[in-house]
Copies of this chain bind each other. A is one copy, B any other.
Amino acid sequence: MGKKSLAIGIDIGGTNTVFGFVNKEGEIICEASITTCAEKDAEQLFERLFTEIDKFFAKYKNDFKLIGVGIGAPNANYYKGTIEAPPNLNWGIVNVFDIVKRYSSLPVILTNDANAAAIGEMTFGAAKGMKNFIEITLGTGLGSGIVLDGKLVYGQDGFAGEIGHTIMDPNGRKCGCGRKGCLETYASATGLKKTVVELAAINKYKSKLCNKSFEELTAKEIAIAAKEGDRLALDAFDFTAKMLGLRLADSVAYLNPEAIILFGGLVLAGELLLHPTKKYMEKYLLNIFKNKVKLLPSELLASNAAILGASALVWNQLKG
């Protein structure tokens, strides 16, 4: 009997880099994590990474064969194979294809983490069988991946899908990108915290959240407060949902997707966010789209989504 195939999924983060061996069914056979050492160069990371991968694979090599390497990373470019000066890695512009070649002859597919999440969702999660959907990753910021006709949209230079950096208000909140009023300054964990501080400054609330600074607040405690009925927390979720729902309605007008799937830390708040976002999205949808677009939570577990998404790059490429 032939050996079974496994894809390597790698997710490069500012603190840790995780990797795993994933089969076609989306089962992670083995996973591990190493520190990224973001202050050093990229070369050292990949050297350590492939040493670990070889070591871990040793015990599987009699039964399995590796078929490709999928990598999710911030500021990654699918076409060029580069990671371009991500804010949390001290790398400059790095060509991942060139570096990986020194350690492995396997085909390498690289994309940014939000796109990897979308491919992961289509291959193993809530978007299985879907041809047209948008994956929104709500974490510290807001990432997005657009799938049309079963393919990820990369656009002319590989940078499509920056919905987090569409502008809600040109005079709005300052964004990390240097501009003002981007969606991710409102609809993200950071945005939710900002909204709590802003609302507490404008209105009178009896809420324990009023005593906290932006730095002290966490999205998790806002969610817990909201579940306990805290008015300030509930209003903050409502405003977040309003901004997100409005932009999702616009996204439907652009792309007419079958579904929009919400992924990431902030979605763990569950119905707290999903319900009002759905309400506002429907409110702002053009008539022909009303009650037709599904708004779904991700079916990828947050704990292994990064590895699954990265490995799905390989499985999805082979399929197409």
List residues of A whose CB falls within 8 A of some B CB: 131-132, 146, 148-149, 151, 153-163, 165-167, 170, 177-179, 246, 249-251, 253-258, 284, 286-289, 292
On whether the beta carbons of A246 and B163 are closer than 8 Å, the reply is: no
- By beta carbon, the residue of chain B nearest A149 is B151
On whether the beta carbons of B284 and A167 are closer than 8 Å, the reply is: yes
On whether the beta carbons of B132 and A257 are closer than 8 Å, the reply is: no
9 tightest CB-CB pairs across the interface, nearest first? A155-B256, A160-B256, A166-B250, A162-B253, A156-B258, A132-B156, A159-B256, A165-B286, A166-B253
Q: Which residues of B contact A163 (CB under 8 A)?
A: 253-254
Q: State whether A256 and B158 are in contact (beta carbons under 8 Å apart), knowing that A166-B250, A167-B249, A167-B250 are contacts in the complex.
A: yes
Within the complex, the shortest CB–CB distance from A170 to chain B, in Å, comes to 6
Partner of A255, one of B131, B160, B287: B160
**A292 to B163, alpha carbons, bound, how many Å?**
18
On whether the beta carbons of A156 and B131 are closer than 8 Å, the reply is: yes
Within the complex, the shortest CB–CB distance from A225 to chain B, in Å, comes to 27
- By beta carbon, the residue of chain B nearest A292 is B157
**A254 to B160, alpha carbons, bound, how many Å?**
5
Q: Which residues of B contact A255 (CB under 8 A)?
A: 146, 153, 155, 160, 254
Within the complex, the shortest CB–CB distance from A253 to chain B, in Å, comes to 4
Q: Which residues of B contact A258 (CB under 8 A)?
A: 156
Q: Which residues of B contact A254 (CB under 8 A)?
A: 146, 160-163, 166, 251, 254-255
Max chain B C-beta neighbours (<10 A), residue from A158, A177, A179: A179
**A148 to B150, alpha carbons, bound, how many Å?**
13
Pull 18 A–B residue pairs with CB atoms less than 8 Å apart, ordered by A: A131-B156, A148-B153, A153-B255, A154-B256, A158-B256, A159-B256, A161-B256, A162-B254, A162-B286, A163-B254, A165-B286, A166-B250, A167-B249, A167-B250, A167-B284, A177-B286, A178-B287, A251-B254
**A246 to B165, alpha carbons, bound, how many Å?**
12
On whether the beta carbons of B132 and A179 are closer than 8 Å, the reply is: no
**A178 to B284, alpha carbons, bound, how many Å?**
10
Within the complex, the shortest CB–CB distance from A137 to chain B, in Å, comes to 15
